[in-house]
Amino acid sequence: MAIERGIMSRNLYYLRLFMSLLNFAILAFLSAVMMVTFNTINENYMARNFLEDISYLPKEATKSTVIVFLTFFLLLYIIEVRKQFKHKSVVSVGIYVIEIILCLIVIRCLYISYNGILLLVVADIVTSIRDKHNRGLFLVIMGLIYIFADYDIVSSIIPTISFEEILSVYSTQYSTLLLGIRNMLVSVNHIAFIAYMIISMKNQMKENARIALLNIQLQTANEQLKEMNEQLKDYAGMREKMGETKERNRIAREIHDTLGHTMTGLSVGIDACIAMIDYSIEGTKKQLNQMSQVARKGIDDIRRSVNKLRPDALEHHNLEEALEKLIEDTVLMSNVQIYYNLQVPELKFNTDEEDMIYRVVQEGITNAIRHGKADNIHVNIKKEDKWLILTIQDDGIGCEEIHTGFGLIHIEERIHMLNGKVSYDGSNGFCIVAKIPIRWSENYD
Amino acid sequence: MSKTAVWWRRLVVCGLIFSILTCSLVLKPKEQKVVLTFGMFAGNQWDVPDDDCYRIIDETIEEFEKKYPNVTIRYDSGILKDDYSEWLSQKAIDGELPDVFMVLSEDFNTFSSVGVLKNLDSLIAKDPSFHEEDYYQGSYREGECEGSQYALPYESVPTLMFVNKTLLEKENIAMPKEDWTWEDFYEICKKVTKDTDGDGKVDQYGVYGYKWKNALYSNGASLFNKAGTKCNLTGEEVEESILFTKKINELSGFSNPTSNDFDTGKVAFQPMKFSEFRTYKPYPWKINKYFEFEWDCIKLPTGPSGESKSDVDNLLIGINNRSKNSQMAWKFLKELTYNRDTQEKLFRYSQGISPLKDVTNSKKAEKILDEYMGEDTIVKVELLNEVMEQAEEKPKFREYDTIMEYIDNEILKLMMLEEGFDENIQKIKNDIDDMLKK
């Protein structure tokens, strides 16, 4: 089908080329006749009689000819160049208006003896204006011009000279011959135009059929896609559930592997101590020492396990980067401004402390946005003696009474686990101040 | 580059273009020299000898160039009147038509309707210093076609009746009065027409060259209606004129006078154009002609059907419809046709009279005429003024000249016929009406 279409538009292209050449020939013929005629008139001293026979003084022939051909080539050039601006509708409309004006100039310069140049532009409009309204409008305009650009109609309004009048200086036989040649060329132009329109119409019909077919295909594909989308949704749900189960299993296994093992060991050890304590204090002591070691190892194991359940961000970045990323993401996703002020040279703590700081900041920001409807949030982290002071202040609606439901319990629990203190103030926006005793790692000792 | 910088640069370029344009608009026109071309023929429209045909034009051009230093006016000299129409037509076809040019009356209708001549209506309307009332209306209307003004009269030549005073005295006939009629005219002609030497042939005549058209105008008749769509040939005034002309010409039987008869003083009257009258008088023409009799000129006799009109010929000047300097062309046209100084020179150097009322009807004009025509001239400015005021307004339509020629021929033939006047004239009228319809 594509090849066939190629042939069709190539046919159209050649036809238009032919029409252009033909129009050139007609313009050349008419201009030549006028030039030669005016020359003959002057050479044979027939000028005064010629003026007597005509109804309008023609313009100087050479100048008219130059204007006609300049205009004609400009028209051809515009038709060629316009293809580049196909998609800019304003430029395109402007160019069509210019085309119409150029046509009118050619017609005027040839004293309305030839209006077939309009067909060339109509052929161009039919194939290159895709917008239905514009195309209709321009075709109507061209049609009207074609109808009224007729010598007999125009000459009653604007004084002009007819081709027949120009030929009146020749003998009847000769002038009939010249008229015949002109009419023949004009007819050929008409035929070429009709052929062009037929091919163009055929093209259009084929195109329409192709579009209809494509439409049907598109519809089918759409339906299939919908179905698949549904399936995908189900699958995603399933995946989520499966993930949850998997995660639960992992935690269970982790607890079982670490805590279970240690606890089992400890409970067995304690049983042994109970049995032993009455007769061997030394043995019991030894046993307890062993159990203490097991318990420590257990704590280590638990810590390692918990490490595996840490927030994603902390898993891949250090605390500083993780906080920055958190703030950045939040700013990107919501309309708040977050002013982050870090006054501690290096944020490097134990993992549980890092976790805690991260969670508190996260919770604080979330609360400020969700409950406080805040626009600006200030996050400050500073160090005072052994304390790390974390302040989250927002300019939201705040609250009179503080309900510890807003995830604050979570924060409190976490901080208390680390022997820290936390205080809230909801009178002016909302402010969380957390004081955490940091086991400053060796860098800070 | 920042946005501001881009905009700034655009602004600068715009400003530059604007100032260049302004410069070229404001400065260039002042520097530019306007070249106007003028088209004229040698001699004059009335085929009388003319030695000074370029003198008025040269002087006017000099004056005009003094007034407008940026204007140069050029003209081709040496084009004969007979070649002038063709020369002008060829120039028109070549697109080289002069900006301002003289128009022969036979060309005027064609040139105005074909678009060779510029329609002056808008120029006239825009020019507060121009008043059409300053012209004799008959002359002014000569430049009108289908309701629009296409040319202005430059020089006018009325037709007057030339009287051989000596002959009338010899025959004991008193000089006709200013308001004489056809009857008086016929009576005098009848008395004068005789065979003086007794050889059986008439050798003294009443009038030479009296045409039916002379009678027509003096009888207040119009050949066409104002729009030029209907012929008035069968109207009473026209028929009277034709019949009167026939009657006058039949007085002398079959022998008609020749111009030589008039020159040798054997004819009492001759209708004559003012230009002929002027050129024949001064040296050297005086020697060749009119040397044996005293003469005078008066109005043509009035017909029975009321108001007398006179036949006035006009030389028109128009502007090229495609002139690029139409404003300047209009000024030059006015300098030629509307300027009193220029028009006064017509009396001095040319053969016609001015179509401007103020100029023709002035003591100065009379003085110049006296000066140039010798002490025995009896041309009164009042007579000229009256004749000019009564000038017939000829309707203007494209085929006027062709049809006039046709009518002239047919009427001449008709006057030869002895019978069937009514049928024949009706037939001619119908033919002409058919021609007018086309």
- Nearest Cα of chain B lies from the Cα of A59 at a distance, in angstroms, of 6
CA B288 → CA A421, B44, B283, distances in Å? 148, 21, 9
Confidence band, pLDDT 50/70/90 cuts, at residue A182: very high
Give domain status of residue A345, yes or no: yes
Give domain status of residue A63, yes or no: yes
| Domain identity same for B57 and B167 | no
Segment A253-278, tens digit of pLDDT: 777 777 777 888 888 888 888 888 88
| Domain identity same for B48 and B131 | yes
| Domain identity same for A47 and A59 | yes
pLDDT for position A8? 60
Half-sphere exposure of A308 (CA within 13 A, CB side): 12
Is B89 in contact with A48 (Cβ distance < 8 A)?
A: yes
- pLDDT at A87 exceeding the cut of 70: no
CA dihedral defined by A237, A243, A246, A252, rounded to 10 degrees? Answer: -110
Chain B hits for A56, CB-CB cut-off 8 Å, are: 114-115
Contact A98, A78 (CB under 8 A): yes
| Domain identity same for B193 and B282 | yes
- pLDDT at B171 exceeding the cut of 90: no
Which residue from B minimizes the CA distance to A158? B115
* DSSP helix/strand/coil, A390: strand
Q: Which of A38, A48, A57 sits opposite B86 (nearest CB)?
A: A48
Give domain status of residue A419, yes or no: yes
| Domain identity same for A372 and A430 | yes
* CB proximity under 8 Å: B 305-344 to A: 321-322
- The rounded mean pLDDT for chain B is 83
- Which residue of A38, A49, A51, A166 to mutate against B (max B Cβ within 10 Å)? A51
Contact B245, B215 (CB under 8 A): yes
Tokens of B131: 């008043």
Query: Taking the mean position of all CA atoms in its chain, how far away is CA B369?
Result: 19
| Domain identity same for B84 and B182 | no
Give domain status of residue B21, yes or no: no
| Domain identity same for A151 and A42 | yes
B273 backbone dihedrals φ, ψ, rounded to 5°: -75, 145
Q: Which has more pLDDT, A85 or B359?
A: B359
| Domain identity same for A27 and A139 | yes
Give domain status of residue B72, yes or no: yes
Lowest-pLDDT range, A12-26, B70-84, B297-311? Answer: B297-311
Q: Which domain holds residue B305?
A: 158-311+394-437
* CB proximity under 8 Å: A 13-52 to B: 38, 41-42, 45, 47-48, 50-52
DSSP code for B30: H
Tell me the CATH number at B218. 3.40.190.10
Chain B hits for A58, CB-CB cut-off 8 Å, are: 93
pLDDT for position B330? 93
- pLDDT at A221 exceeding the cut of 80: yes
pLDDT for position B320? 93
| Domain identity same for B175 and B272 | yes
Lowest-pLDDT range, A275-279, A375-379, B405-409? Answer: A275-279
Confidence band, pLDDT 50/70/90 cuts, at residue B283: very low
Chain B hits for A50, CB-CB cut-off 8 Å, are: 89, 93
- pLDDT at B33 exceeding the cut of 70: yes
- Nearest Cα of chain A lies from the Cα of B90 at a distance, in angstroms, of 5
d(CA A439, CA A444): 9
Confidence band, pLDDT 50/70/90 cuts, at residue B373: low
Contact A356, A415 (CB under 8 A): yes
* DSSP helix/strand/coil, B131: coil
Q: Which has more pLDDT, A175 or B290?
A: A175
Q: Which has more pLDDT, B107 or A262?
A: B107
**Which of A130, A154, A169 is a domain's end point?**
A169
Segment B174-179 mean pLDDT: 82
Q: Which has more pLDDT, B4 or A109?
A: A109
**Which of A281, A308, A335 is a domain's end point?**
A308
Confidence band, pLDDT 50/70/90 cuts, at residue A442: very low
| Domain identity same for A39 and A86 | yes
Give domain status of residue B297, yes or no: yes
Confidence band, pLDDT 50/70/90 cuts, at residue B376: low
Q: Which has more pLDDT, B431 or A135?
A: B431
The label of the residue with tokens 């000898």 reads: B49
Percent over 70 (pLDDT), chain B: 91
The label of the residue with tokens 């927030």 reads: A311
pLDDT for position B306? 65
Give domain status of residue B384, yes or no: no
| Domain identity same for A297 and A343 | no
Segment B418-427, tens digit of pLDDT: 778 888 888 8
- pLDDT at A233 exceeding the cut of 70: yes
Confidence band, pLDDT 50/70/90 cuts, at residue A216: very high
Lowest-pLDDT range, B40-44, B95-99, B117-121? Answer: B40-44
**Which of B355, B379, B403 is a domain's end point?**
B379
- The rounded mean pLDDT for chain A is 83
Mark out the alpha helices in A256-279 (DSSP H runs). 261-276
Give domain status of residue A401, yes or no: yes
Segment A311-328 mean pLDDT: 78
pLDDT for position A215? 95
End-to-end alpha carbon distance in chain B: 75
- pLDDT at B139 exceeding the cut of 80: yes
Structural domains of chain A, count: 3
Lowest-pLDDT range, A372-386, A392-406, B116-130? Answer: A392-406
- pLDDT at B14 exceeding the cut of 90: no
Tell me the CATH number at A412. 3.30.565.10
Q: Which domain holds residue A244?
A: 234-308
Confidence band, pLDDT 50/70/90 cuts, at residue B27: low
DSSP code for A333: H
d(CA A113, CA B115): 19
d(CA B99, CA B424): 47
Kindly state the helix (H) or strand (E) to which residue B400 belongs, with its residue range. helix B400-416
Q: Could you give the angle at the alpha carbon of A394 between the alpha carbons of A390 and A396, nearest 5°?
A: 155
| Domain identity same for B299 and B225 | yes
Q: Which of A45, A48, A57 sits opposite B115 (nearest CB)?
A: A57
Give domain status of residue B388, yes or no: no
Give domain status of residue A184, yes or no: no
Confidence band, pLDDT 50/70/90 cuts, at residue B197: confident
Confidence band, pLDDT 50/70/90 cuts, at residue A234: very high
Give the bridge partners for B103, in sequence order: B316
Give domain status of residue A362, yes or no: yes
pLDDT for position A288? 87
Chain A hits for B116, CB-CB cut-off 8 Å, are: 51, 57
| Domain identity same for A285 and A325 | no
pLDDT for position A423? 86
Give domain status of residue B16, yes or no: no
Give domain status of residue A190, yes or no: no
B69 backbone dihedrals φ, ψ, rounded to 5°: -65, -20
pLDDT for position A180? 93
Confidence band, pLDDT 50/70/90 cuts, at residue B285: very low
- Which residue of B41, B89, B107, B116 to mutate against A (max A Cβ within 10 Å)? B89
Give domain status of residue A227, yes or no: no
Confidence band, pLDDT 50/70/90 cuts, at residue A309: low
Tokens of B166: 């000596």
Give domain status of residue B374, yes or no: yes
Whether chain A has a CB inside 8 Å of the CB on B353: the answer is no
| Domain identity same for A40 and A163 | yes
| Domain identity same for A128 and A252 | no
Structural domains of chain B, count: 2
**Which of A282, A308, A334 is a domain's end point?**
A308
Confidence band, pLDDT 50/70/90 cuts, at residue A427: confident
The label of the residue with tokens 């430059």 reads: B154
Q: Which of B85, B94, B115 sits opposite A42 (nearest CB)?
A: B94
| Domain identity same for B287 and B425 | yes
| Domain identity same for B248 and B275 | yes
Whether chain B has a CB inside 8 Å of the CB on A66: the answer is no
| Domain identity same for B82 and B185 | no
| Domain identity same for A403 and A270 | no
Chain B hits for A52, CB-CB cut-off 8 Å, are: 110
pLDDT for position B165? 82
DSSP code for A259: I
d(CA B86, CA B80): 10
| Domain identity same for A250 and A376 | no
| Domain identity same for A123 and A98 | yes
| Domain identity same for B373 and B295 | no
| Domain identity same for B81 and B205 | no
Q: How many CB atoms lie within 10 A of CB B286?
A: 13
Give domain status of residue B2, yes or no: no
Confidence band, pLDDT 50/70/90 cuts, at residue B286: very low
pLDDT for position B313? 86
- pLDDT at A414 exceeding the cut of 90: no
| Domain identity same for B326 and B278 | no
Segment A354-374 mean pLDDT: 82
